[in-house]
Amino acid sequence: MALPNDPIMLLSMINLKLRDFYPTLDALCEDLDEDKAALCARLSAVGYAYDPQRNQFV
């Protein structure tokens, strides 16, 4: 599945998937075959960082 190019749509999709389907970002990245560092960098560029306690980007 292709991830959205728009960073806000990406944020929304990733947080939804983390909330509803995946217990960790590692599990999401493994299942979707996504590079965790690249995903974090894309969201960091718009001011969001992964919070493992909340299991979401904030």
- The predicted-structure confidence for 4-55, as pLDDT tens digits, reads as follows 999 999 999 999 999 999 999 999 999 999 999 999 999 999 999 999 999 9
pLDDT score for 17: 98
In a domain, 3, yes or no: no
The pair phi, psi for residue 56, each rounded to 5°, is -160, 165
In a domain, 6, yes or no: no
In a domain, 2, yes or no: no
Evaluate if residue 1 carries a pLDDT over 90.
no
In a domain, 1, yes or no: no
Q: Which residues pair with 56 in a beta bridge?
A: 51
How many domains, in total, are found in the chain? 1
Q: What is the pTM assigned to this prediction?
A: 0.94
b/e burial code for range 6-31 (CB count within 10 A of at least 16 → b) = eeeebbeebbebbeeebeebeebbee
Quick one: pLDDT band at residue 58, thresholds 50, 70, 90?
A: very high
pLDDT score for 46: 97
